[in-house]
Structure 1
Amino acid sequence: MPLEVERKYLNVDFELLRRSLQEQGAESAGAHFESNLIFDTAAGQLRANRRLLRLRTREWPGRTRHLLTLKLPVPHSEHFKVREEHELEIADKTAMQGLLEGMGYGVAARYEKIREPWRLEDVEVELDILPFAKVVEMEGPAERIASVQQRLGLDNAQISIKTYHQLHQDWRLRHSLPPALSFVFGKEQNQLWRQRLGLTYNAAPQPGEEPLP
């Protein structure tokens, strides 16, 4: 059973962390723009049963990858977020979306982020910029995550095992905003990030687009 084991770190200084990663010999894969579509039934059955069906697009200059992911719940872990994960790379995002919709699934939420992946031995260290926060996410064997956490000086950071959707709901609550499942960059933010990453900008509105105030 393929398991995803991860932990998030909040309020981290990215510049200091990058220096620590370089000093530890970590390798950077470069930042990319990431768009995600979350599919569910009209009644929200997948979300109610802690299941996630996601179609993800990663964009680099001159290269795009699409991944279909299914995440299933496993027994709760107090110190790490653990999910059973099944992932498949696909060539045609539009065709896959049509197939999912034909099976009765629709787009229930969208979210975007800028992801800067690093690898330190067998642990993935992701520096993520979301429309509402900057978060570090580590994925790998639990004992190795704890070791890398110490090596990078993150022992005193605020640790979370919440999903990005849960962190988003917390953010909206702190800002007296109503609950919302989607979090995407506003058009100006989207254009700015895509320019910084050397990507083209698509000004056409996306279904379910819900930029933050």
Structure 2
Amino acid sequence: MKHAHPMEIEMKFRIPALAPARLRLEACGFLLASAQGPELSVLWDRDGELRAQGGALRLRRYGGTATLTWKGARVPDPLLKIRPEVETTVGDPAALEGILGQMGFGPVFEMRKSRSVWNRGALVACLDEAPFGCYLELEGSPGAIREAMGQLGLEEAQVEPRSYVTLFRELG
């Protein structure tokens, strides 16, 4: 997601199904920005260099666009996922893959899921369906995330602290 500052702050919740979550998002004033559709995310690395630093380089294809995202190491927090993040839209993903390859990077992990994106002011909500379950992500300021969490009826017991990469490796 795009940010006003280069830090990603999000909380991910395991949910039983997408349909009730959609209704709750609508009832809480979220507006659909991108309809549910397939997403392909490929992680790139160079001899494990980024992974060793706790970072990642992801090329995501979703909603007819491609985005390159660099993520830095996570900042410790018991519930929130906080990490530096910089991303940009990519006009020609195949050309970018060629550039990455010439720089010594290669694809190291692929994830496929279904996603929809919702917005309410500066807060972004993503509904994801992966092979191992359904999730709702809230991304924005810590205060806005906690406020929406209460409005949406989400509880700390539903928080999924693992990344999608970890979940795909363990469960996918």
Q: Closer, same or farther in 2 for the Cα pair 1:99/1:85, shift >3 Å?
A: same
Partner of 1:53: 57
Contact 1:9 1:136 in 2 (8 A): yes
Cα offsets for 1:47-90 (capped at 9, x unmatched):
1211101111113xxxx211111001153122201110010111
Partner of 1:76: 76
Relative contact order, higher structure (CA 8 A, sep 6+)? 2
Partner of 1:137: 137
Tell me whether 1:34 sits opposite 2:39 in the alignment: yes
Pairwise CA distance, 1:134? 1.2
Partner of 1:166: 166
Which secondary structure state, in structure 2, belongs to the residue aligned with residue 168 of structure 1? Answer: helix
Pairwise CA distance, 1:92? 0.5
Q: Which runs of 4+ in 1 moved over 3 A?
A: none
Which secondary structure state, in structure 2, belongs to the residue aligned with residue 4 of structure 1? Answer: strand
Partner of 1:154: 154
Q: Which runs of 5+ in 1 are unaligned?
A: 172-182, 184-213
Cα distance in 1 between the residues matched to 2:87 and 2:146: 25
Tell me whether 1:44 sits opposite 2:42 in the alignment: no
Which secondary structure state, in structure 1, belongs to the residue aligned with residue 159 of structure 2? Answer: strand
Q: Closer, same or farther in 2 for the Cα pair 1:13/1:100, shift >3 Å?
A: same
User: Could you state the TM-score of these two structures normalised by the residue count of structure 1?
Assistant: 0.73
Pairwise CA distance, 1:157? 4.9
Which secondary structure state, in structure 1, belongs to the residue aligned with residue 75 of structure 2? Answer: coil
Amino acid across the alignment from 1:82: I
Pairwise CA distance, 1:108? 0.5
Higher-Rg structure is 1
Pairwise CA distance, 1:170? 3.8
Partner of 2:25: 21
Cα distance in 1 between the residues matched to 2:147 and 2:31: 17
Percentage of pairs with the same residue = 30
Cα distance in 2 between the residues matched to 1:12 and 1:141: 25
Cα distance in 2 between the residues matched to 1:7 and 1:27: 19
Cα distance in 2 between the residues matched to 1:116 and 1:154: 18
Contact 1:10 1:157 in 2 (8 A): no
Which secondary structure state, in structure 2, belongs to the residue aligned with residue 46 of structure 1? Answer: helix
Task: Flag the structure with higher strand content.
Answer: 2
Cα offsets for 1:8-60 (capped at 9, x unmatched):
1113332222222122221012122211111111x31211211101111113x
Which secondary structure state, in structure 2, belongs to the residue aligned with residue 50 of structure 1? Answer: coil
Cα distance in 2 between the residues matched to 1:151 and 1:11: 15
Please, what is the CA RMSD of the aligned residues? 1.6
